[in-house]
Amino acid sequence: MADTVAMVMEAMLPELDDLESKGYFSRSELREVIKKRQDFEYNFKRRAALKRDFLRCIEFETKLEELRKHRKKALKIKGKRGPAETGIVRRIHFTYERATRKFKADLDLWLAWIDYCKSSNSTKQMSKVVTKALQRHGHVAALWVEAASWEFERNANVAAARALMQQGLRHCRKDEGLWGEYLRMELLYVARLRARREVLGLPNPESAEDIAQLQRQQREAKEAARKRKRKGPQGGRGAEEEEGAGEGVSAEEAAHEASEAAVRAVLTGAVAHLVVKGAITAVPRSLALRQRLLRVVGTFSFPG
């Protein structure tokens, strides 16, 4: 046990030296930090290590990091980021990792780690933590919401967020809260897409007639694509090059039409409608679910 603790403490030396050399903490203060960390390490190595041991360590390191940030601002410490700036945060993540390894079934620990990833702006770590948490607690709808929200809000990846919501619903099909959050995300995407199109000077459907027109255009585009597929490429003798060029243009046009059709589907509420339909199909007898979905829709204002 002593040898293992000594190795962990030795690994902290670059961070501690950097904290002192940059003026964050005095040598006497760092001696206190070393003593506290050593005590925590011995507690972790006990055969019956307790959850509160890990939480106390995390609390201590969190306060230490807050003090470091305060002194950085007060003393106007500048320079390249080094072990002094990253070491405490890395230790907090390391402590969460050890805690969740020992208490895998403790959902509160996983959620606390996710919250810390967000508050510390640990983007890469966040993805790893959410993945591990979902592997262990795939039946918990709140984790799927966290994962999808991270992709949607932080990474601006709507496709990934939608895929996570759909995967979560395969695990938690009857969770009414998850259906509500999925609908909220889709409606928020519509609102943001409309705002972006307004900035770019592109038209948005503003009335029931506009929506109906977009839907007609979507049906016509699908029908035209089916006709082209049935007709197939045509070309006379010696016209292989022209035929090949024509196929390239058709593929490009088809891709463009597919993209436009997807945008029209979102703008006309087709995706949100599918979410509502799926929710009612999954939980057909729930009045509370219908009320929840209506409340979500009521928080948005769309013309038409």
Rounded average pLDDT over 244-273? 64
- Whether the full predicted model's pTM is greater than 0.85, yes or no, is no
Q: What percent of the chain has pLDDT over 70?
A: 82
Residue 245: what pLDDT?
Answer: 46
Give the integer Cα–Cα distance in Å for 258 and 270. Answer: 15
Q: Of all residues in the chain, what percent carry a pLDDT higher than 90?
A: 65
pLDDT band (50, 70, 90) for residue 152: very high
Give the residue, 226 or 32, on which the prediction is more confident.
32
pLDDT at residue 141 greater than cutoff 80: yes
Contact 77, 24 (CB under 8 A): yes
Per the model's pLDDT, the better-predicted residue between 130 and 266 turns out to be 130
The token duo for 119 is 């508050």
For 288, the token pair is 């509370």
Q: Write the CB contacts of 120 (distance below 8 Å, at least 6 apart in sequence).
A: 89, 92
Query: Minimal CA–CA distance to 145: which of 113, 172, 124, 123?
Result: 172
Q: Specify the pLDDT at position 208.
A: 52
Which pLDDT value is given to residue 256? Answer: 53
pLDDT given for residue 242 in this prediction:
46
User: Do 27 and 20 meet the contact criterion of CB atoms below 8 Å apart?
Assistant: yes
Helices (H), 45-82: 51-74
* pLDDT at residue 227 in the model: 74
Q: What pLDDT, on the 0 to 100 scale, is given for residue 213?
A: 63
- Higher local confidence (pLDDT), 219 or 5: 5
Looking at the predicted structure, is the pLDDT value of residue 224 above 70?
yes
Residue 93 contacts by C-beta under 8 Å, 6 or more apart in sequence?
Answer: 113, 116, 117, 122, 125
